Amino acid sequence: MKKEKFIRTSIKILKPLIVIFIALGLLYWFKFRPVDVVSYTVVRGPVTDTVMGTGVLDAKNKMIISSKINGRIQKNLVDQGDVVKKGELVVTLDDDELAMQVKVAEANMETAKANIKKLQDDFNYAKAVLENAQKAFKRQKKLISGNIVSQAEFDKTEESLKIAQANFNRSKSAIAEAENKLLETQKNVDLRNAQLSYTRITAPFDGTITYRTRDPGDVVVPGSPILTLVSTKILWIKSWVGETELEKIKVGEPASIIFRSLPSEKFPGSVARIAKEVDKETREFIVDVNVDKLPLNWAIGQRAEVYIDTAKKNSAVTIPEEFLKWRHNLPGVFKLQGGRAVWTAVKTGLRGSGVIEITEGVNEQDTVLRPISPEKPIIDNCKVSAK
């Protein structure tokens, strides 16, 4: 009984001491035990502020080549990857029926021309008859006034004049109608020839065929896609950039492009145009970046990152970005002072690729620190062991 009471009393006394020893051990671990860190000596160097965007390769000029008429593809003269010139024949449609329609239309036009020629002869005859009838009527009119001819003879002459005038008018109307008919047949010939020409589909501009959707024998209707053609004169990355960067970017600024198919290689470019609308959901806007040089193998729609150079300094105090540490929404760094890590607030400037400019708080030749392992963070004023 007494022994158990003694044990309980001892535990009560020792328990606070154990807690104190553990606390002291932790204090030593964090306060006095050196933390393994990576050090960096601050130097001056060039820094370029860059804005990053993600997008896809696209063409400024591209179009779907389709048919203007219903038809069956006879030949597909190009394929994906082929380079074509403006006006080059790329697709032909079956033209047998349309060629026959052209011949029929031309035959109708020739018939209309022949009919006009016949009516013109009839018109000339009717005109001559009318002129003779007019002369006879004038003579008879003078003679009847002198009672030289009878009224019956005069009436007969007048009737002949009326008949000649009617025949003339009828012949003149027939020619006008025939000329209208000829005009219709000529328009029909033009229409049939135009339709026949639509069976020969040509490239509207210089470019590269990127996609083929139809094969010989396929039936197409107006507007249905057959080929996709892009102009390679202007290819750009249609990239999405956060709206906070809008004020930084200007047309003409240089850029670097990294295709995901070639992550180790950079391709030169420049800002071509900036969209004037921000997506309401993503809060991003589109920046089109010209690609000055393409990879050997490229494809419209392939993904890439763009890095737009918006500002540059040839000499600035810079540190690697991973040495920057935030506290209470303030940027800062751990500087090495007397073997200890001391957190110091800083002001930042340009942000380049992996580096950041420090305008206040750090000087050239200062040593800044970062932990080797995130599991062992640096504590303010702790001892460090630089690697």
Q: What is the pLDDT of residues 332-367, one digit of tens each?
A: 999 988 888 889 999 998 887 788 999 999 999 999
Are 321 and 372 found together in one domain? yes
CATH number for the domain spanning 135: value is 1.10.287.470
Residues 214 and 66 in one domain: yes
259 and 270 share one domain: yes
Q: Which amino acid is at 257?
A: I
Q: Both 148 and 180 in a single domain?
A: yes
CATH number, domain of 289, equals 2.40.30.170
Indicate whether 242 and 277 sit together in one domain: yes
Position 23 scores a pLDDT of: 61
State the residue for tokens 């000649």.
Answer: 164
Answer yes or no: are the C-beta atoms of 230 and 210 closer than 8 Å: yes
CB neighbours (10 Å) of residue 305? 16
Structure tokens at 357: 């400019």
For residue 218, how many other CB atoms are within 10 A of its CB? 13
- Among 263, 290, 311, the domain boundary falls at 311
Last residue of a domain, one of 311, 343, 364: 311
CB 73 within 8 A of CB 220: yes
Q: Do 370 and 329 reside in the same domain of the chain?
A: yes
The terminus-to-terminus CA distance of the chain in angstroms comes to 59
Say which DSSP state 184 is in.
H
Domain presence at residue 23: no
Let me know whether 108 and 191 are in one domain.
Answer: yes
Question: Within this chain, do residues 121 and 179 fall inside the same structural domain, yes or no?
Answer: yes
Residues of the chain with pLDDT under 70: 1-33, 146, 149, 387
So what's the pLDDT on residue 134?
84
Same domain, 329 and 352: yes
Residue 12: inside a domain, yes or no? no
Do 240 and 301 fall within a single domain? yes
**Does residue 108 fall inside a structural domain?**
yes
Assigned domain for 238 exists: yes
How many of the other CB atoms lie within 10 Å of CB of 148? 10
User: Residue 299 CA to chain centroid, in angstroms?
Assistant: 14
pLDDT of residue 353: 75
Based on the domain organization, do 300 and 355 belong to the same domain?
no
Question: Is residue 215 within 8 Å of residue 77, measured between CB atoms?
Answer: no
Give the range of the structural domain holding residue 213, as residue numbers without chain letter: 62-94+199-230
Q: Does residue 5 lie within any of the structural domains?
A: no
How high is the pLDDT of residue 4? 60
Q: Which of 261, 296, 311 is the last residue of a domain?
A: 311
Query: 176: closest CA among 257, 247, 119?
Result: 119
In-domain check, residue 24: no
Structural domain tally of the chain?
Answer: 4
Helix H or strand E encompassing 345 = strand 340-345
The CA distance from 53 to 36, in Å, is: 36
Domain shared by 372 and 251, yes or no:
no
22 domain residue, yes or no: no
CATH code of residue 359: 2.40.420.20
Classify residue 67: in a domain, yes or no: yes
pLDDT, one tens digit per residue, over 260-316 is 999 999 999 999 999 999 999 999 999 999 999 989 889 999 999 999 998 888 899
